[in-house]
Structure formats: structure tokens, C-alpha cells
A and B are shown apart, each in its own frame.
Chain A
Amino acid sequence: MSANKESWGTRVGLILAMAGNAVGLGNFLRFPVEAVNNGGGAFIIPYIICFLIMGIPLLWIEWTMGRYGGRFGNHSTPFILDNMTRLRFWKYFGVFGIFTNIAVAAYYCYIESWTLSYVFHSIGQTFSGMDQGQVAAFFNSYTDIGVSTTGIPYEAVIFYLICLALNTYILSRGLQDGVEKVAKIGMPLLIGFGAFLAIRGLTLGDSGSPAGCEDCDSLLGVNFLWEPQFDSLTNPKVWLAAAGQIFFTLSVGMGTIHCYSSYVRKNDDIALNAMSAGWMNGFVEIVLGASIVIPIAVGYLGLDWVKENAGFAMAFQTMPYLFDQWGPLLSTIAGVAWFGLLFFAGITSSLAMGTPWMGFMSDEFGWTRNKSAWSFGSLVLLLGLPTVYFYEQGVLGEYDYWAGTVSLVIFALAESIIFSWRFGINKGWDELNRGSDITLPIIFKPIIKFVTPFVILVVFVASLIQPLNNDWKGAISGNWEFDPSSIIGKIQNKAFIANRSYFADFFESEVAGTVAAITEEPTGEKTMEIVKTISYYRNEVNRIKPAPVDKSLIGNLNTFDSLTVLQTYTFEEDQRIIVQEGDSVNVSDKIATGSFVNNILYVDASRLLLVGLFLFICFLVYTATSLREKSEREKL
């Protein structure tokens, strides 16, 4: 029944496509931020150990499973897993290998479209002369689809559609003429752009330091990232963060590696290919990724600022401002290099996400390449539009959490158990070594069997029951309250303290403070700020920092109070503010009346959409199984 006639053109093309699948936005944004948030130089040691005991084994497991499944004409995880076990039940774990890709592609294409749009904005010098606040506000306007930054109505939607259409068209060209060609062009360009920015980051020094800033030096940023702090090695939080980063950076637990390697013939090498692609991803992350965002940001904004503000949004809300300090020509080149780099990192990953669905539909239902590519595009569009329209309501974040985080861990745990314990480690090791162009250290055999599943299990359990504020010591000693970002905390919607009903005729404050300025636009739209007086102090390099409650922690430094805006709310014409300037409000106090649709509705609806997608793929797998059984009976 299979209409699948795909193949790779060259071995280098396969490796670049596989490396492109792994190299994504996380290499440049997530890795340095995780390193900053987990003790700088201390992070790199657990990271490398996790790469050796979890990353490399998972890469080998997935390459092996994929090539093994490909021998039987299977190019997607449900039936690849089916080949390896005798229990039908495990096949449904393979649904994750299709589900994750569609759900992640839905929001990943949106982020990818930001990078595409920002390439054009860099060429058009949109950010020229803007201060940091204006660049950040530009991004907020961009994601607020009602506001146009270029004069194009619904610019974010249009760029999303362009990006999705481009992905779908390339997928419809097939593996060799589409995915592989893009990887062969995109990966060298990405490395070239990255090298240019990394050299700039490492050589910037304090040349961009504004007057009065004493910790604005890119080498301080480099120092912070690489200064070894061995005492952090005993902190479980750092190890969990390192293990999590390895998951996301290698794109393991998604099903894309299985799909790509299922087109490798049974006597061709996979062990060396896996190493080459995996280490290429490591090079992009450790050598390039660590040398761009943090050093450049520290060079202009200072180490303290970066420690407090490091995050994903820096790519769009901070970097254009920093490039603008380099003058018109260099800022345009740097903007194109940075957002071009992110675009190529994104598209080589999003293309990989399309191939498991295409392989499945082609294998099981005989769909042509065009039909399966455009059906993938349609599914992604259907799921992706809510992330575009309701970005500010948290839909993208929900997709990222459930599909882009939790699903990876569950699937990786299942596949490592299947490979070592159901298929059998001896058979699996022989399969991995078949046709290998390198000799594999035998130590990896027990690591794959025992250590890798155990580490993944620890990561999963830790995510499930993560205590409040990641305070494991406090939790073990008594009061174990789940963190809002733990799986249980997410299910309980613990992040929503106020406004917990879907629809309401009043609106509750989400912060405690004092009502400050209430302004009304001629359109009737009202804006209200809730402020609070917070104590700050100046540290030894004259940077202002919030003062901890326990003043003994900061010694004799003088503190001062400053009024800080905690939250700004905007209300429509038909909604009425019921508090007045100067009123004190607590969390959950009613501050406005009218008709309200709360964010919790969008969050729960997005979860339902994901569950619906999962069940839909389960149904397709069930139908495909029935068709296979019918075909077997007819043969008999």
C-alpha cells in the first residue's frame, strides 16, 4: 500500500538535515539563558555529562529504531515501535512521534515567522534610532495582531501564512529535493552568520559601554558563562536543567530522527552519522550559541541587567536595539545575520516536523507526497491560528509545555524502555553496530540499558512533582506544595490565582498594590496601572537592584524606595472600572465590571485541542492497523 519512494541524495545531506533538525532557536536562546540561570560555568559540566549518558544514547536508540523500522517499510513511530515489540499497546506510544511534531510545528512556524519578518525589518532599518523600550514595544505591537507595524494589516498572520506555505511547499518537493537541499544551503549559512556574530560578541569588550555603566563588558558575560563553580554541581536543580536542555537541543523524543533514519538502508552506517549530527549541534550550541546573545547584551546593558532579564524574548526585544548601536550598515548586516540565522535554525527544524506525518500517511493510506504535505500544512494551520490570534492569552505557552516539553519526555522514556527491555539490549546493540563506520565503546551498552531510562525517569518525575520555587530541600523537609510550572500544578491551573472562571461579569486584580493613574482614550478604552512601593539598593557597581526583605543580606548599603508598576490593565468601552486612584487592592479583589472572557478559557481550550489532535492520530493508527490486518487476511 505504501506510496513512499523517498530517499536521501547524499550522506552529507542526511547529516546536515539531521543536524538542522536538532539545531533550533533553543541553541541560541535557550542554552545561554539556562546557563545564566543555573550558575554560569557550573552548568556546562552537568550539561556535558547529560549529553554523554542521555543525549548520545538517545540519538543512537532513535537512529537504530528508525533504520530498523525502515526495513519493514515503516517511516513513522507507531509502526516502527510495532515492529520492535509483540504487544500492540506500545504502538500507541508511537502516536507521540506524530502528535508532537504537528503541535510543535503549529507554534514553531509562528516563531519562525517572527524571524522572517524581523529580517525584513532589519533590511528596512525599522529599529533605527529606537530606544530599548521602543524595540520591546514594537514586538508587543507585532504580536498584538490588531496593530500593524508596517502598514500591512494583520502582519503577524500574513508572515505566519507565508512561513507555513514555504514549509509546506518545500515538504511537497520531497526529502532529497526539498528538505535536504534546504539543509545544504541553510546549515552553512547558519554557521557563517553565527561565526560572524560570535566573533563580534567575543571582541566587543567594553567598547559599547554607556557612560556610567561599570559592568558593561562582553568579556564579563563570557566570564560569567565559563567561570567554573563546582559547588553548584551538588544542586539537583542544575542537573535537571542540564538534562532538560539536552532533550530540547537534540530534538530527541520527537519522532523526527526515527523518520529521517528510516530511509537509511540496513547495512549503511548510523552510529557515525548520529555522532556527526549530534556533535554538530553541540558545536552550534556551545561554541556559537554561548558567544552571541549573552556577551553582546552584557557589553551594552551590563551583567546585572542580563542576570535579571535573560530570557527568550531578548532575541526580539533586545537584540535589534543592541545592533542599532553599531551604526546603520553594520546593524543591518547584524540584524540580517541574527534573524537569518534564527530563520534557518527554525526552518530546518520545522521541515523535519512535517516528515513523520507525511511518512505515516504515505505508508498507511498511500497518499502522494503533495497530498500528505498539504494536509500537514492544513493541520498545522488549523492548530496554529489559535497561537497567532491568542498569543497573549497564553495559547502558545500551553502548546509548548504539553507538546514541546512533556510529550518529549514521555516518548523518550517509552522508547528507551522498548529498545533496551522489550526489543532487547543485545539485539539493539547488534542492530546499532551493523554497518558502523566507528567502533562503539562497550560501556554504552549498560548505559543505554540502565542509566538512560533512569535519568529520563528522574527528569519526568521531577517535572511531575516539582515543588514550589524549585525548593526541593524545603519540600522534602515538610511542606510540599506543587509549583505552578510542574505537571500537576499545570493540571490544577495553579498559575491562575484570580479570574479562574471562563466567563465573568467582573474582573479581579492579579497583583496586590495601589491603583495609580487611570486614563481614558477618546474611544472609551480605559487603562489602569497597579503600583507598589518597592525598596531598592545600589550595588557595588552602582546598579540598582531590589532589596531583599532581610536587609542583613546587603550589609550597610543604603536602600531607597521607588514606585514600581506591577501590572497594567486595559478595559474596553463597555467595561467599567470600580476602583479609584489611590485605592489599595489585593489579589482577587474585583476591580472592574462588565463582560469578561478570562485567559483560563483559552488555556483549557488549547489543551482540549491538543487532546483532540492526539485522539485523532490514535484513530488514524487504529484505522491503519485494521487496514493492515485486512490486507494480511486477503493475502492468506
Chain B
Amino acid sequence: MTSAALIMMIVVQSTVTIITGYFFYKVLTTPPKPEPDSFAENDDVEERQ
């Protein structure tokens, strides 16, 4: 495998993985909006935006 291909693969796949992980982490850690919101299963969550 050539260095150029290896660098390309590592850069692209790492970037995509990091961005995906970042957005998903942000989704998981952002408190929900005040009720009524769109989601039926978070009614008992106290911490709201």
C-alpha cells in the first residue's frame, strides 16, 4: 500500500469518524427542549434547555 493511499484513507476515515462521533455525542449530551417536545419517552427528564 502506498503512503499516499494510506494517508488519504486515514485522514478521510478518521475525519468522518470524528465528525460522526462529535455530532452524536452532542445529541446525547444536549438537554431536551421544554415540554411539550417531540419525544414521548423523556417526559420525566428534569434538566431542560
Residues of A within 8 A of B (CB): 7-15, 41, 44, 48, 176, 219-220, 222-223, 225-228, 263-265, 267-269, 272-273, 275-276, 279-280, 282-283, 286-287, 290, 435, 437-438
Contacts and interface: CB of A to CB of B under 8 A. Distances in A.
Contact of B38 (A228, A263, A287): A263
A227 B2 contact: yes
Q: Which of A48, A265, A276 has the most CB of B within 10 A?
A: A276
A7 B24 contact: no
Nearest to B9: A226
Given A11-B32, A222-B1, A276-B24, 14 more contacts: A9-B40, A11-B42, A13-B39, A14-B39, A44-B8, A227-B5, A272-B30, A279-B16, A279-B19, A279-B23, A282-B20, A283-B16, A283-B17, A287-B13
A283 B1 CA distance: 22
Contacts of B41: 9-10
Nearest to A435: B33
Contacts, number: 101
Contact of A48 (B5, B12, B26): B12
A51 to B, nearest CB: 10
A435 B8 CA distance: 37
Interface string B31-45: 011001111111000
Given A264-B38, A273-B27, A287 B5 contact: no
A44 B36 CA distance: 42
Given A275-B23, A279-B16, A287-B13, A226 B39 contact: no
Contacts of B40: 7-9, 176
Nearest to A219: B1
Nearest to B27: A276
Given A279-B20, A283-B16, A287-B16, A268 B27 contact: no
Contact of B28 (A12, A290, A435): A12
Contact of A228 (B4, B17, B19, B39): B4
Given A12-B28, A272-B30, A286 B37 contact: no
A263 B13 CA distance: 33
Given A265-B36, A272-B26, A226 B5 contact: yes
A282 B6 CA distance: 19
B39 A9 contact: yes
Given A44-B12, A438-B26, A223 B38 contact: no
B17 A287 contact: yes
21 contacts: A8-B38, A9-B41, A11-B39, A12-B28, A44-B8, A48-B12, A222-B5, A223-B2, A223-B5, A225-B5, A265-B33, A265-B36, A265-B38, A267-B33, A267-B37, A272-B27, A273-B27, A279-B20, A279-B23, A437-B30, A438-B26
A282 B23 CA distance: 12
A10 B28 CA distance: 11
Contacts of A268: 33, 37-38
Q: Specify the main secondary structure of chain B where it touches its partner.
A: helix
A192 to B, nearest CB: 15
A438 B9 CA distance: 28
Q: Which of B4, B30, B38 has the most CB of A within 10 A?
A: B38
Contacts of B26: 272, 276, 437-438
A10 B19 CA distance: 22
Contacts of B19: 279, 282
Q: Which of A11, A12, A273, A286 has the most CB of B within 10 A?
A: A11
Contacts of A435: 33
Contacts of B32: 11
Contacts of B23: 272, 275-276, 279
Given A15-B27, A273-B27, A286-B13, A7 B38 contact: yes
Contact of A286 (B1, B4, B16): B16
B39 A10 contact: yes
A279 B6 CA distance: 22
A258 B23 CA distance: 21
Nearest to A274: B23
B39 to A, nearest CB: 5
For the complex of A and B, the 10 pairs showing the least CB-CB separation, nearest first, are A226-B9, A276-B23, A226-B5, A227-B5, A283-B20, A279-B20, A9-B41, A223-B1, A265-B38, A223-B5
B4 to A, nearest CB: 6
A371 B28 CA distance: 35
Nearest to A266: B38
A161 to B, nearest CB: 33
A275 B27 CA distance: 10
